């Protein structure tokens, strides 16, 4: 393949994939020295202008000539409206009809759908013109921006492989996803985004990295461990919990909210909504825990009332429009039961020795429920 004359120009009118030119040098260096780009790629550190010149004039032409890695410059409008270098995307084809894809977006072009459009253009081209049957996507675990792009383009998420790739001498866990030539380009699952819900003193919001220390503290709390039916948490339990909750949101399994102080934004607890797709999808179940230093202040009751209001609110008004909420807790968990009762839930039944407490013991399970008095069945068209 001759470079650059044999490189196709692919465009949807907004985003264009094309051959690199030295006009891209400044943008390329800016992207490659951006901390976010460095964190999720194997870009050399430090990265200088000489590295950018070598990439554009030597490395990319050589990769195209041998056909091992087909790298495109991405051109798109930045936040200032000016069209210029907006990132890079590459296709690594194999002889078996499978090709892997990698991409990176310039900081000035992020949050504008550039990666999604670029990935769609590249997938359409390689399926139609290169005989590719399957496109693979790999990303280091935790690269949620890349995973969101993959999801939006219709890739299936195929799991995590431990220590699969090396980044600067360290083996890292990797996510894998695939898009087949016959697949549609719509998301294959629902990506849940917990809405921000507020009261005069609380804010229910998505979790952030800043919440990790207090997530760790909750995981090591004796009462949380006892009624959570598990072993004592570790110093790194917060990081594992945050990853797990984001995974649940991303795969449509569960809503996860941080219960935070509205003034300071400090974590006071967490509250979840699960069993979203059961046999009776008009019913959902909450789970919750409160940080030790926030107990005894009515935080859980207030958070539950806020969650109930949103869960029962019609979809047209920004709610979830569910018919019934059921709480399961241990009969001996007086605080949890008090909060449920104060939030308007009614004791429905007791299930003997059905609730796990600590790592090996059991307690009676008590079930509370609350019915939406204004619920109507969803219409079907």
pLDDT tens, position by position, 146-197: 999 999 999 999 999 999 999 999 999 999 999 999 999 999 999 999 999 9
Tell me if 155 sits within 8 A of 181, measured CB to CB. no
Do 122 and 53 share a domain, yes or no? yes
Do 18 and 150 share a domain, yes or no? yes
Residue 379 lies in a domain: no
Residue 5 lies in a domain: no
Do 136 and 267 share a domain, yes or no? no
Do 30 and 113 share a domain, yes or no? yes
**Domains contained in the chain, number:** 2
CATH code of the domain covering residue 106: 3.40.630.30
Q: How confident is the prediction for the chain on average, in pLDDT?
A: 95
Do 159 and 205 share a domain, yes or no? no
Residue 323 lies in a domain: yes
Kindly tell me if the per-residue pLDDT of 379 is higher than 90. Answer: no
Do 233 and 132 share a domain, yes or no? no
Do 28 and 150 share a domain, yes or no? yes
Domain that holds residue 260: 197-371
Do 276 and 334 share a domain, yes or no? yes
Tell me if 352 sits within 8 A of 367, measured CB to CB. no
Q: Which of 122, 145, 180 is the last residue of a domain?
A: 180
pLDDT tens, position by position, 314-363: 999 999 999 999 999 999 999 999 999 999 999 999 999 999 998 889 99
Q: What is the mean pLDDT of residues 298-307?
A: 98
Residue 169 lies in a domain: yes
Q: Which of 123, 148, 180 is the last residue of a domain?
A: 180
pLDDT tens, position by position, 69-101: 999 999 999 999 999 999 999 999 999 999 999
């Amino acid at each position: 393949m001759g470079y650059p004359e044999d490189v196709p120009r692919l465009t949807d009118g907004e985003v264009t994939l094309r051959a690199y030119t030295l006009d891209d040098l400044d943008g390329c260096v800016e992207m490659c020295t951006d901390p976010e780009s460095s964190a999720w790629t194997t870009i050399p550190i430090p990265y200088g202008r000489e590295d950018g010149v070598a990439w554009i004039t030597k490395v990319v032409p050589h990769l195209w000539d041998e056909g091992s890695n087909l790298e495109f410059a991405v051109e798109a409008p930045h936040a200032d409206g000016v069209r210029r270098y907006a990132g890079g995307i590459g296709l690594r084809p194999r002889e078996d009809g499978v090709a892997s894809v990698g991409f990176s977006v310039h900081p000035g072009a992020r949050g504008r759908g550039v990666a999604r459009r670029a990935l769609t253009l590249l997938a359409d081209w390689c399926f139609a013109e290169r005989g590719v049957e399957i496109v693979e996507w790999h990303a280091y675990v935790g690269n949620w921006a890349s995973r969101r792009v993959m999801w939006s383009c219709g890739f299936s998420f195929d799991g995590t492989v431990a220590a699969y790739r090396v980044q600067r001498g360290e083996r890292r866990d990797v996510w894998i996803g695939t898009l087949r030539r016959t697949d549609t380009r719509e998301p294959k699952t629902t990506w849940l985004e917990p809405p921000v819900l507020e009261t005069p003193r609380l804010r229910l919001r998505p979790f952030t990295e800043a919440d990790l220390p207090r997530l760790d503290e909750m995981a090591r709390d004796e009462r949380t461990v006892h009624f959570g039916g598990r072993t004592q948490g570790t110093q790194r339990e917060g990081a594992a919990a945050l990853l797990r909750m984001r995974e649940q949101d991303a795969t449509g399994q569960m809503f996860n909210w941080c219960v935070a102080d509205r003034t300071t934004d400090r974590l006071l607890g967490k509250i979840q909504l699960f069993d979203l797709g059961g046999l009776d999808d008009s019913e959902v179940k909450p789970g919750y825990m409160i940080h030790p230093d926030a107990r005894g202040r009515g935080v859980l009751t207030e958070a539950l009332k806020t969650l109930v209001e949103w869960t029962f609110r019609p979809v047209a008004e920004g709610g979830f429009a569910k018919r019934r909420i059921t709480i399961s807790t241990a009969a001996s968990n007086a605080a949890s039961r008090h909060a449920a009762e104060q939030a308007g839930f009614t004791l429905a039944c007791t299930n003997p020795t059905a609730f796990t407490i600590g790592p090996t013991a059991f307690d009676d399970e008590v079930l509370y429920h609350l019915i939406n008095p204004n619920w109507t069945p969803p219409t079907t068209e």
